[in-house]
A and B are shown apart, each in its own frame.
Chain A
Amino acid sequence: MRRILAWACLALAILITLFPFYWMLRTAITPGRELATDNFALLPEHPTLINFERVLGLTTREETRAAGGSGANLDFFLYLRNSFIYTGLITVAQTLFCAMAGYAFARLRFPFRDALFGLFVAALMVPPIFTLLPSFAVVKQLGWLNTFQGLVAPSMLMTPFAIFFLRQFFLGFPREVEQAATIDGAGKWTLFWRVVLPMTRGPLLTLALTTAVWAWNDYLWPLLIAPGEETRVLTAALGIFLKQSPNNAPDWTGLMAGSALSVIPVLLLLVFFGRRLVDSIQFSGLK
């Protein structure tokens, strides 16, 4: 009996988790004009794919307006591409550069090592908003507003957390392996690329996955740095749909269609990396 109750609670939790997504889809297939007189049945009276089509830019301006949306363009594939570039560059570069730095802090000997590391760790404590405003100014000085380099520069080279996280792993890396390789005549550089990196795939993937999720969801920085059409990422683009003209309302059906599409990459990530991802999350808490 108690087990049944417990299962019921769990089922309820899943329902609460998933229902909003169902409603998102359900709204996305509702014709815009019917929204105000909707009957809240499980499926709309006249299901339609028009909202997806207009989000994907497959309809003409007139068709879009007839469907109750604004005639504005949402160049979904362009924003999707931008989001992929943003996420991809940051994930790969940050993981790599931070692995290098983390390894240096864990294994190499050089002056001021610990002081420098201490400084990096201290940066962990500073709330991002403090460096965000002036970072905007730095990107501006570089003339990188509305460019991809401006978008990715700050988080591509390092984050204190990533370095801290990976250093902990390299500290635990068996020295015997390194020594064996050193005897074979490998320098630090070769050693790192040929031996250490391949053997720390697990933690690297963990870091990469969490970084990817973070970058994919990032909103404030891309909004500030690159709201321009060519570099606008998906999250910022969805905001556009929210309010089109002074007295217009949110285009709910279009918004929900766009939102539904933006969730797909996440679901794919879950399908392909499900175990790894779940493990990563659990794991990141334990370290």
Chain B
Amino acid sequence: MSTLSLPKRGRDDRRVALVFLAPALVGFGVFYVYPALLGTWYSMTDWNLLSEPAFVGADNFVTLLHDSLFWNSLAVTGYYVVLTITVQMVGGLFLAALMHRLTRSLVLRSLLVVPWLVPNVTVGLLWMWLLDADLGFFNHLLTGMGLDNQGFLTAPDLAMPSVSMINAWTSTGYTALLLYAGMCLVPKQVYEAAALDGAGELRTFFRVTLPLMRPILAFVLVVSLIGSFQLFDTVAVTTKGGPVNATRVIYYYIYEQAFTHFKMGYASAMALTLVLILGVLTFVQMRILRASTSDLA
């Protein structure tokens, strides 16, 4: 038993600590550790939810290597992540900068964050309707301008960008708020100094504000990355992975395998593979993060 930093009182708080920790420990044990072990086991079985799982060794992983849809779903997810994050970061920064320069209005900030508060399912339904190829408002605008209507969610080239725009719509206001908070932390003196140097607005933004916001930018980026990888709701509501697999993202694909085709074993193998892939990505990210401590600190 560890005794390295026991207090002078001579005994530690292990009894009371157990009481404090009991709910969390049970929760962690039953819904994190045990499922993690169980999931690893399932990934080596042919379990189909209804009959007993049988051990199949590495079969699922071999299948997975040859499953072009799995790799396609990873690529599709990557495409989505890049698209969404770019729009949401650029849009968020722009909005944050505008708010920072123009107003402290709480009402304004509250309004911007409304889409983020609404359930993704609702958002998906709403946009599915707005983007409808025949009766949607946006196609009404297009045809009104003499252009052709578009199958925003049904054409293979447009479906993923549309899903991505929908989620950017949800999260840009939220991102702006986070970034705005970061901007408010930059001391006034820095701006005064920049103004004294005769730097213009744009120049100040790129040369002063942005570099000082590096830590919060990094944080927002990581949070959005993790969130975007988990895209499910919007796809489940709007496109169901179609057309022709254009929006079959990894979460949706795993879900389908597990609960539409009952291939729980195979789905678990995919989930485990995803964990490993994300693990590597996280490691790389950490390296980058470590390099980005604020110039203010």
A residues contacting B by CB (< 8 A) are 2-3, 6-7, 9-10, 13-14, 16-18, 20-21, 23-24, 27, 35-36, 38, 40, 93, 97-98, 100-101, 103-104, 108-113, 119-120, 123, 125-135, 137-138, 153-154, 156-158, 160, 163, 187-189, 192, 213, 216-217, 219-220, 224, 234-236, 238-239, 242, 250, 252, 255-256, 259, 262-263, 266-267, 269-270, 274-275, 277-278, 281-286
A13 touches B95 (CB 8 A): yes
A126 touches B275 (CB 8 A): yes
With known contacts A14-B111, A16-B169, A131–B36 Cβ distance under 8 A: yes
B residues contacting A by CB (< 8 A) are 1-2, 5-7, 12-14, 16-21, 23-28, 30-32, 34-36, 38-39, 42, 94-95, 98-99, 101-103, 106, 108-122, 125-130, 135, 137, 140, 169, 173-174, 177-182, 185, 201, 216, 219-220, 226, 229-230, 232-233, 236-237, 251, 254-255, 258-259, 264, 267-268, 271-272, 274-275, 278-279, 282
| CB of A28 to closest CB in B, whole Å | 10
Bound Cα distance A125, B35 (Å): 15
B27 touches A158 (CB 8 A): yes
Contacts of B99 in A (CB 8 A): 10
Contacts of A163 in B (CB 8 A): 24
B101 touches A100 (CB 8 A): no
Contacts of A35 in B (CB 8 A): 135
Contacts of A112 in B (CB 8 A): 2
B216 touches A285 (CB 8 A): yes
Secondary structure at chain A's binding surface: helix, strand, loop or mixed? helix
B181 touches A133 (CB 8 A): no
Q: Which of A40, A239, A270 contacts B237 (CB 8 A)?
A: A239
Bound Cα distance A100, B27 (Å): 13
| CB of A99 to closest CB in B, whole Å | 9
Contacts of A187 in B (CB 8 A): 16
Bound Cα distance A27, B20 (Å): 51
B27 touches A111 (CB 8 A): no
Contacts of A236 in B (CB 8 A): 121
* Across the A-B interface, the 4 shortest Cβ-Cβ residue pairs: A157-B27, A282-B181, A134-B35, A101-B24
Considering only CB atoms, which chain B residue lies closest to A27 in the complex? Answer: B129
Contacts of B268 in A (CB 8 A): 133-134
Q: Which of B103, B111, B267 contacts A18 (CB 8 A)?
A: B111
Contacts of B258 in A (CB 8 A): 133
With known contacts A35-B135, A101-B24, A127–B119 Cβ distance under 8 A: no
Considering only CB atoms, which chain B residue lies closest to A105 in the complex? Answer: B21
A263 touches B122 (CB 8 A): yes
With known contacts A111-B14, A192-B20, A224–B259 Cβ distance under 8 A: yes
Considering only CB atoms, which chain A residue lies closest to B223 in the complex? Answer: A285
With known contacts A14-B108, A220-B255, A274-B110, A129–B36 Cβ distance under 8 A: no
Considering only CB atoms, which chain A residue lies closest to B23 in the complex? Answer: A97
- Residue of B31, B34, B174 with highest tally of chain A CB at under 10 A: B31
B21 touches A104 (CB 8 A): yes
19 additional contacts (CB under 8 A) given A109-B6, A131-B39: A13-B95, A17-B112, A20-B127, A20-B169, A23-B129, A93-B23, A97-B23, A100-B24, A127-B271, A134-B36, A134-B38, A134-B39, A138-B31, A157-B31, A158-B27, A160-B32, A213-B117, A220-B233, A281-B113
Bound Cα distance A135, B177 (Å): 34
